Amino acid sequence: MQHVTWRGIAALTLALAAVSCGYGNPVPGGLTGLMVNADGQLTMVAAWCGRAPDGVVVYRRAADELLEQADVRAPVLTGGIASMNLEEKPSDWSLQEGSLSFDEGQVYKVHAYSSETHVKLLGAEFTTESKKKISRGQVLIQNHAGATKDVLLTEDEFKAQAKYLC
């Protein structure tokens, strides 16, 4: 019989806590961006490789912290790309908790995620005014090389960027 030490118990506890506490940091596997739909509403778009995301989480920025604003479950997603209206939740998506009401001037961040693998796709920050920057057919992401800056891509460029992250 093996002897269990406090150090071993502590290491196991830390490992389990790391696995069980929320969703991990964004990792390669896809990308989340923002589009404007035909009605002029802000829409999350996610492109992935491998396992499809099964949810979307929206955070609001408070000082240097991200506080959860909403958690929305997706229907079964296929095809490597999907979108969800952030201003008028589609009926086949279900709000698990929180709210999709956004305050003017507040900064938010959206990520598609997998609850099974605890992986978040790289996310995109936005405000209620962000949709004014996005033309029809464009996807807004952030470039984090140096200072964070908004970048507008075509849908094909967005898909290519997501594939590059795989």
pLDDT of residue 5: 34
Give, for 19, the enclosing helix (H) or strand (E). Answer: helix 6-20
CATH number of 23-164: 2.60.40, 1.10.246, 3.40.50, 1.10.3210? 2.60.40
Determine the pLDDT at residue 6.
33
Interatomic CA distance for residues 4 and 17, integer angstroms: 19
| AA identity, residue 55 | G
Annotate 89-127 with DSSP letters as a single string: --TTSEEEEE-----TT--EEEEEEETTTTEEEE-EEE-
Q: What is the reported pLDDT for 144? A: 64
* Domain spans, the chain: 23-164
Q: What are the C-alpha distances in Å from 32 to residues 10, 58, 76, 161?
A: 36, 11, 17, 10
Residue 146's contacts (CB-CB under 8 Å, 6 or more residues apart) are none
State the 10-residue block means of pLDDT for the chain, 166 residues long.
Answer: 35 31 55 95 94 95 94 95 94 95 96 88 94 94 78 95 86
35: helix, coil or strand? strand
Structure tokens at 131: 């949709």
